[in-house]
Amino acid sequence: MKDCAAVAGIHSARAALKFGADGVGALWLERSRRDRRLGELAELARAAGVEVRQVDRDTLERAAEGANHQGAVAWVRVPAARAEADLDRLLDALEVPPLLLLLDGVQDPHNLGACLRSADAVGVHAVVAPKDNAVGLTPVACKVASGAAETVPYVQVTNLARTMDRLKERGIWLIGTAGETNAELYGADLRGPLGLVMGREGSGLRRLTRERCDALVRLPMLGQVESLNVSVAAGVCLYEALRQRRG
């Protein structure tokens, strides 16, 4: 379907229907399966006014592109990114210390999608990224996000460094990741108003972004590999923040 991403799997399709049904164009179910969970999905879709179509297994396989579809694919419209002004309104409305994820020029849609999925899992209030030299909300990113592109505000800003200055004025502590620092992630205090800043694939944080971080931390690497994929590193950092904030 044009301008839509195929979100495969019962859990992901359910999440898309529950939290962003307005953005779901259609639900495809495998015709030959008799599964209670697929029936519940169909009821959920019809209640939301979403078209339900019974298709054969081969059609689902092509739509899912190798993902485990479990007999269900939801076609999710690619959402528009939020504007800078939306970030201010979002922060003004929060009654808890904000938790943000800042991505400094991530260019792989698979990485963006995985970051959004981790952000949703830990309750990130917004993901912030520059408009230029960074991937946006593409169908591939939305597919990998498995519904998180609809639940986590994705804010694109004109100038990331300037946005970081404004966040710091709000009292948000910005912690970036860099392999050359001696400070480890697990020694950082991640409990207050926080923005975790992750660099792009390969080159890491840009100079202006790095300079605006209040602190830099690294993930301990005990093997021969020098660094982790940015989406994996983001997941590790976000879950350490969640651990501390719940404690």
- Find out whether 15 and 146 touch, Cβ atoms under 8 Å: yes
**CA terminus-to-terminus distance, the chain:** 44
Tokens describing residue 94: 């929060």
Q: DSSP string spanning 179-224?
A: TT-S-BGGGS--SSSEEEEEEBTTTBS-HHHHHH-SEEEB----SS
Residue 2: predicted pLDDT: 63
CB 140 within 8 A of CB 150: no
Specify the CATH class of 4-77 in words: alpha beta
9 marked as part of a ligand binding site: no
Band (17; pLDDT cuts 50, 70, 90): confident
pLDDT higher than 90, residue 97: yes
DSSP state of 240: H
CATH superfamily of 84-246: SPOUT methyltransferase, trefoil knot domain (3.40.1280.10)
Annotated binding residue 167: no
Domain boundaries, the chain: 4-77, 84-246
Task: With beta carbons less than 8 A apart as the criterion, state whether 18 and 148 touch.
Answer: no
Indicate the SS3 state at residue 125. Answer: coil
Helices (H), 133-173: 139-145, 148-151, 160-169
Token pair of 130 as six digits: 């520059």
Computed from CA positions of residues 183, 184, 188, 191, in that sequence, does the dihedral angle turn out positive or negative?
A: positive
pTM (2 d.p.): 0.81
What confidence tens digit (pLDDT) does each residue in 186-238 have?
999 999 999 999 998 777 899 999 999 999 999 887 876 667 789 999 999 99
pLDDT greater than 70 at residue 68: yes
Band (pLDDT 50/70/90 cuts) for residue 46 is: very high
CB 72 within 8 A of CB 59: no
Helix, strand, coil percentages in the chain from 3-state DSSP, rounded to 5: 45, 25, 35
228 annotated binding-site participant? yes
**Order of strands across the sheet that contains 72-77:** 4-8, 72-77, 24-30, 51-55
Q: 82-88: which pairs have CB atoms within 8 A and are 24 or more residues apart?
A: 82/126, 82/153, 82/154, 82/155, 82/156, 83/155, 83/156, 84/155, 84/156, 84/157, 84/158, 84/163, 86/153, 86/155, 87/126, 87/128, 87/153, 87/155, 87/157, 87/163
Place of tokens 């991640």: 190
Asked if domains 4-77 and 84-246 share a fold, the reply is no
